[in-house]
Structure 1
Amino acid sequence: MEVYIGGRAQGKLAFVKEKYPGKKRIAEGASAGEEDCVRAEIIDHFHLYLGRFGEDTAAALRSVERICRENPEVIIICDEIGCGIVPLEKSERVYRENVGRMMCRVVERAEHVERLICGIPQRLK
């Protein structure tokens, strides 16, 4: 498993597509179901996928564990959303905390992790 993180619009998907031109099955986190993620070669906007679980952290964790277990070669692309101003709304704070916790689980299993800033990769793991 590989993970690419970075701020919004930092060129993560373009970088991955250029690096792996043969990978065509891309699940879009805003709309993909769990089955789509299990079969995907790339999951883009993983933070949006996780956000769809709301405050159900246990369900999000079960889904993440399944994706990692059944799709160990997947490439996960996720925006960094925990930096900056702390949101006033509790639901937004819970969302950010859940994404952070779930990404810690994903990164533990990943063989390769990179952060992209302005399209420039920085290897973290």
Structure 2
Amino acid sequence: MILIIGGAAQGKLDYVLQKTGYAPDQVARTPEEAKTLPVFDGVEEWPDLDEEELLSANPGVILICDEVGCGVVPVDPAQRAWREQVGRLCCRLAKRAERVERIFCGLPMTLKGDSLSWN
């Protein structure tokens, strides 16, 4: 599994499609679709994702998640809880991932894995 993180509108999906050659119709938007498609974009919308189930079904999936923990802390307790859940999910996924990259202004930064090859 590969984890791609970065802020909103930083070019994460474009980067993945360019690196892999996958088409937009090969991108999952829900955990159910992600069991069979090679890329799952929008992981932050599913903070209660059952990563065990997903990774058992699709161990080579590329997960794309917006960073949500930066900036002003929300006043709304539900928003704070959501950010906390997404952050913890990303920590668990990063620990399991073969590769983790952060995309900032369209530029990749390798956080984990070989920076020279993309499998």
Which TM-score bucket, shorter chain as reference?
A: 0.7 to 0.9
Per the normalisation by structure 1, the TM-score is 0.83
The aligned counterpart of 2:13 is 13
Partners of 2:62 and 2:20 lie apart in 1 by 10
Give secondary structure in 1 for the equivalent of 2:35. helix
- Looking at secondary structure, tell me which structure has more helix per residue: 1
- Residues matched between the structures, number: 111
Per the normalisation by structure 2, the TM-score is 0.87
Q: Cα RMSD between the aligned structures?
A: 1.3
Q: How many angstroms does 1:40 deviate by? A: 1.8
The aligned counterpart of 2:43 is 46
The aligned amino acid for 1:74 is V
Give secondary structure in 2 for the equivalent of 1:66. helix
Partners of 1:2 and 1:92 lie apart in 2 by 27
Partners of 2:22 and 2:86 lie apart in 1 by 28
**Is the Cα contact below 8 Å between 1:68 and 1:106 reproduced in 2?**
no
The aligned amino acid for 2:27 is I
Q: How many angstroms does 1:70 deviate by? A: 2.1
Give secondary structure in 2 for the equivalent of 1:17. helix
